[in-house]
Amino acid sequence: MSQLFTPIKLGNLTLENRIAIAPMCQYSAERGRATAWHRIHLGNLALSGAGLLILEAAAVEPDGRITPQDLGIWDDDTEQALGEVLKDIRKYSPMPLGIQLGHAGRKASTDVPWRGGGFLTPEQGGWQTSAPSALPFHSHDGEPLALTKARIEEIKQAFIDSAIRADRLGLDLIEVHAAHGYLLHQFLSPLANQRDDEYGGSLENRMRLTLEVFREVRRVFPADKPVGVRISATDWVEGGWDIEQSIALSQALEKEGCAYIHVSSGGLAPEQKISVGPNYQVPFSAAVKKAVSIPVIAVGLITEPEQAEAVLVEQEADMIALARGVLYDPRWPWHAAAKLGAKVQAPDQYLRCEPHDVKGLFNK
């Protein structure tokens, strides 16, 4: 029996297999509202046979967007637009759907990646950014405002309100984004957080906002629906956030009722030096898995079915997340099931495409 195609529970949510589609920003929203692109893109992925699809990072307030084209979930208009997309997807796919909630902090107000991703001034359609401390991501970016305690409370409330909207939309899961150099990660890392109040300094203080946001989201999202957290296990910079601190955070999150930890890395500082290669982040998920009892998701250049299977067999993670690889091959789970001798979901309209040499591949 393939480990990759055995069921798993995240909290009370049972998944048919251990393949998750990771959140991937599409930079294709209009004033935060989902568009026809999201209907096409997410609809395609929802027919992939994966066990879980997590929607891209949705900004909890307009100033929390990475780009002006980011998806949002901060008001009735953004909620309604996303709801219309989800309604169409659910008509044809039973796949559980989650959403990642995030705030970009000092990495906000940038152009889309295919135009270079540079910082946008207000005159260019950008806005004033904010962060734990008045330290820009790039030296040539606009200086962010150090968040006051009043603004921190507003952002926490924005996460709460967005979580309530996510539940109203019938989403099955929330992932709190505390990775890739965005706001919560900025508070975690001593490279970006130089505050001298209760949100800065010691590890306990730097973890405070992430734990507070998680606690509030967990409080308002129904108890039978899981809330997980995505972390960057290391900044890949000397003196920055690292795996030991990530383990401490993961253990603290587990005590708060976190359903899973999704382990990525990097994104906090331009000085990062990442050793990229197959499974390059798996040692981090393995280290976290040894320290907690909740499921751990591995991601990052896991491209082959046998490779994904081995990560699970070696108990280096409990699930595998696909990102760019599933954009390249949207039927990756089908192909993995065929290679590993497993079964996978397919829509009725596609059942006739089952190859003759793998008859019985599709669950009917």
Give the residue carrying structure tokens 């991703």. 117
Residue 336 included in any domain = no
Q: Is the pTM of this model over 0.85?
A: yes
Q: What is the SS3 assignment for 285-340?
A: HHHHHHHCCCCEEEECCCCCHHHHHHHHHCCCCCEEEECHHHHHCCCHHHHHHHHH
Please give the chain's pLDDT, 364 residues, in tens. Answer: 899 999 999 999 999 999 999 999 999 999 999 999 999 999 999 999 999 999 999 999 999 999 999 999 999 999 999 999 999 999 999 999 999 999 999 999 999 999 999 999 999 999 999 999 999 999 999 999 999 999 999 999 999 999 999 999 999 999 999 999 999 999 999 999 999 999 999 999 999 999 999 999 999 999 999 999 999 999 999 999 999 999 999 999 999 999 999 999 999 999 999 989 999 999 999 999 999 999 999 999 999 999 999 999 999 999 999 999 999 999 999 999 999 999 999 999 999 999 999 999 998 7
Whether 359 is in a domain gets the answer no
Question: What is the number of structural domains in the chain?
Answer: 1
CATH number at residue 194: 3.20.20.70
Token pair belonging to 78: 């953004």
The Cα–Cα gap between 45 and 345 comes to: 12
Please indicate, yes or no, if residue 8 is contained in any of the structural domains: no
DSSP string, 101-163: EE--GGG-SB--GGGT--B--GGGT----EESSS--SSTTSPPPEEPPHHHHHHHHHHHHHHH
Orientation of helix 36-45 relative to helix 76-92, angle to 10°: 40
pLDDT reported for residue 38: 98
Query: Residue 3 domain-assigned?
Result: no
CB 299 within 8 Å of CB 276: no
Model pLDDT, residue 364: 73
The pLDDT, as a whole number, for residue 300 is: 94
296 in a domain, yes or no? yes
- The rounded distance, in Å, linking the Cα atoms of 198 and 143 is 23
Annotated catalytic sites, by residue?
182
pLDDT of residue 195: 98
DSSP class per residue in 44-88:
HHTTS--SEEEEEEEESSGGG-SSTT--B-SSHHHHHHHHHHHHH
Question: In angstroms, what CA-CA distances link 198 with 160, 204, 250?
Answer: 21, 9, 20
Q: What is the predicted pLDDT for the residue at 40?
A: 98
The two structure tokens encoding residue 149 = 């305690």
- Is 13 part of any domain? no
Pairing of strands 8-10, 13-15: antiparallel
Residue 269 domain flag: yes
Task: State the residue range of the domain holding 92.
Answer: 19-327
Is 332 part of a structural domain of the chain?
A: no
Q: Is 339 exposed, middle or buried (0-12, 13-18, 19+ CB in 10 A)?
A: middle
Output the pLDDT for position 21: 98
